[in-house]
Every structure is written in C-alpha cells, then in structure tokens.
Amino acid sequence: MMKLLMPTLVTIAGFSVAAQSKSDFTKKWEIEGYVYFGITFSPEEEEKDDFLHFHDNGTFSSREVGKVETGTWKWLEGEEEIQVFQDEESLVMKVVEVREDELTLLLEEDGDSIKVKYRAAPNRN
C-alpha cells in the first residue's frame, strides 16, 4: 500500500470535490483500474483483489498485491485530499473524483503520475 500511496501534493484536474465530506469516502473501494489518457486499463492479475477501505472511525485497511495493511486516515476538505498514516509515514492522495460508487485518486511519485480508479464494493449484508 505504501508503494501505491507514495504521492506528493499535486494539482487537481477536472472535477471539483470541495463539497464532499468524510462520509463520502467511508466504504470499501475495490480497484477498477488505472487511467491513462482518459482510458481505464484493468489491473494486473495479482492486483485484481486490491482494495482500500476507509472506516468511519478514521482507520483504513487495504490490500495491495496480496499484502494487507492498516493505518489511519483523514479527509483534508480544503485541500481535496485524503491523508493516510501508517507506521511513521504520512502520505497524501489527491481526490480527482468521488461519487457514490466511484473514486478516482491521483498519485504522483518521482515525477510520474497515475490516476487509480476504484468502484464501491457491493454491500454484502
């Protein structure tokens, strides 16, 4: 997760998320793919079960390439970013778009950037 979440602060592109609140993110998000030039590409086979799960109590859990990780998170409303904390690291993800069933995050590392698209996991009661 930390490898995936190694973004730095970046400029938002296209969609305003300023009116969102923490509750808009508190659910399990399953990876849908990576967006390049407006086209969503499927994740690799070993990434197909990856997810982010933001809990109401400010904790999160995730799976990246089979490795489950946990930490805490907060919605930076004025910055339109999600900040996650794990061990002694703090990472920021820029929210490009959030809807009831879709979340797109912009990640940037070492001069490269990528948009990661998630879909809300089905509610399995």
pTM: 0.80
8 lies in some domain: no
15 lies in some domain: no
Report pLDDT for 111: 82
Mean pLDDT by 10 residues, the chain (125 residues): 39 47 95 92 95 97 94 94 92 92 89 92 76
9 lies in some domain: no
Of residues 95, 7, 6, the one with CA closest to residue 54? 95
Report pLDDT for 107: 86
CATH number of the domain to which 63 belongs:
2.40.128.280
Q: Which domain holds residue 96?
A: 22-120
Contact of 103 with 17, CB cutoff 8 Å: no
Please state the domain count of the chain.
1
Report pLDDT for 34: 95
51 lies in some domain: yes
40 lies in some domain: yes
7 lies in some domain: no
